């Protein structure tokens, strides 16, 4: 199997630390007037997005270009995908054009893993179904570590639709490898008990106040209405019980930060005041996304 990046679960601490250190190195480049390096000069990256995405796709494109590489983005609508071509046929066709990596997002869990078994091209997972979103967890870790010396011992509350969240899974795997205490919180129907077995140090609660109490980091998840295959929770009362509101923050540690993978729904997962709260780091996450994806592309292709 070519060396791509399919998930956080299979990475070890040293590999993650190396990517995060490299991302830190790339951070200042984001604010230079001349941002372009030549690490990936002559390299071609294909971004293949089977699911709508603005920020992740753009972030990968910018990361590739800042490293001097060429990036082509393909979305499912308007491509041969909408003409009924199978996933493996599409990928074989793309692989025959000899890209150096394929960045892929797909609504089916495991789609990139399935392809990695059949393709010679390294695949970078930009989100597969409800499974993993490794670069999101890496940029979240980079963002936390910009404000804390270590992840060890931190209490991290992850709140929302955990069952359907690839962001939650990747973050759980990463944070657990570094000794964080992770509390997963959401409505009972979106919080299967087996989540506690994902990694060491994971506990579950349906009470948002318990989750937030003494937390160092509060990660809010987007309510994934497109992944709701049934009425798993009464949507009308979601915000009342699982939306993050300003008064909740009094329960957390005074220096707690608020994160969100975006795009945010003001009034659904978090109140507008929280989104604009001074310790909300949502835009730092976006900025770190580019640095982290540069580090990942460099690791996979460079």
- Residues that bind other proteins in the complex, under the rule CB under 8 A: 9, 86-88, 106, 108-111, 113-114, 118, 128-132, 163-164, 166, 169, 192, 194-195, 197-198, 229-230
- Closest approach of other proteins to the CB of residue 165, in Å: 9
Compute the distance between CA of residue 23 and CA of residue 28 in angstroms, rounded to an integer: 10
Whether residue 279 contacts residue 257, with contact meaning beta carbons closer than 8 Å, is answered with yes
Three-state DSSP at 160 gives coil
- Closest approach of other proteins to the CB of residue 249, in Å: 30
Q: Which is nearer to other proteins, 35 or 113 (CB)?
A: 113
Q: Which is nearer to other proteins, 9 or 273 (CB)?
A: 9
Q: Which is nearer to other proteins, 98 or 229 (CB)?
A: 229
Q: Which is nearer to other proteins, 166 or 293 (CB)?
A: 166
- Closest approach of other proteins to the CB of residue 114, in Å: 5
124 DSSP β-pair partners: 5, 103
- Exposed e or buried b per residue across 11-46, where buried means at least 16 C-beta atoms within 10 angstroms of its C-beta: beeeebeebbebbbebbebeeeeeeebebbeebbbb
Q: Which is nearer to other proteins, 204 or 281 (CB)?
A: 204
- Closest approach of other proteins to the CB of residue 205, in Å: 17
* φ, ψ at 188 (rounded to 5°): -55, -40
- Closest approach of other proteins to the CB of residue 283, in Å: 28
Q: Which is nearer to other proteins, 110 or 302 (CB)?
A: 110
Whether residue 168 contacts residue 162, with contact meaning beta carbons closer than 8 Å, is answered with yes
Residues 233, 235, 240, 242, CA torsion sign: positive
Residues 144, 278, 265, 190, CA torsion sign: positive
Compute the distance between CA of residue 36 and CA of residue 7 in angstroms, rounded to an integer: 28
- Closest approach of other proteins to the CB of residue 193, in Å: 9
DSSP 270: B
């Amino acid at each position: 199997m070519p060396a791509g990046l399919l998930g956080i679960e299979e990475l070890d601490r040293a590999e993650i630390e190396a990517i995060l250190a490299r991302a830190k190195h790339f951070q200042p480049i984001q604010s230079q007037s001349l941002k372009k390096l030549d690490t990936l000069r002559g390299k071609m990256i294909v971004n293949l997005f089977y699911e709508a995405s603005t920020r992740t796709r753009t972030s990968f494109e910018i990361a590739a270009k800042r490293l001097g590489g060429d990036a082509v983005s393909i979305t499912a609508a308007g491509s041969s995908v909408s003409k009924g071509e199978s996933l493996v046929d599409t990928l074989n066709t793309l692989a025959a054009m000899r890209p150096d990596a394929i960045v892929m997002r797909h609504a089916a869990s495991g789609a990139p893993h399935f392809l990695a078994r059949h393709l010679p091209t390294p695949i970078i997972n930009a989100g597969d179904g409800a499974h993993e979103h490794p670069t999101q967890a890496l940029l979240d870790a980079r963002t936390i570590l910009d404000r804390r010396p270590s992840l060890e011992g931190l209490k991290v509350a992850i709140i929302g639709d955990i069952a359907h969240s690839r962001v939650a899974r990747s973050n759980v795997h990463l944070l657990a490898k570094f000794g964080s205490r992770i509390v997963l919180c959401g409505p009972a129907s979106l919080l299967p008990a087996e989540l506690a077995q994902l990694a060491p140090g994971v506990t579950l609660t349906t009470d948002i106040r318990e989750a937030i109490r003494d937390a160092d980091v509060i990660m809010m998840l987007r309510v994934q209405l497109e992944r709701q295959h049934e009425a798993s929770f009464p949507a009308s009362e979601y915000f009342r019980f699982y939306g993050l509101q300003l008064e909740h923050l009094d329960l957390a540690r005074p220096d707690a930060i608020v994160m969100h993978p975006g795009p945010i729904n003001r009034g659904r997962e978090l109140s507008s005041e929280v989104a604009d709260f001074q310790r909300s780091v949502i835009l730092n996450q976006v900025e770190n996304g580019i640095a982290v994806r540069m580090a990942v592309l460099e690791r996979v292709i460079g």
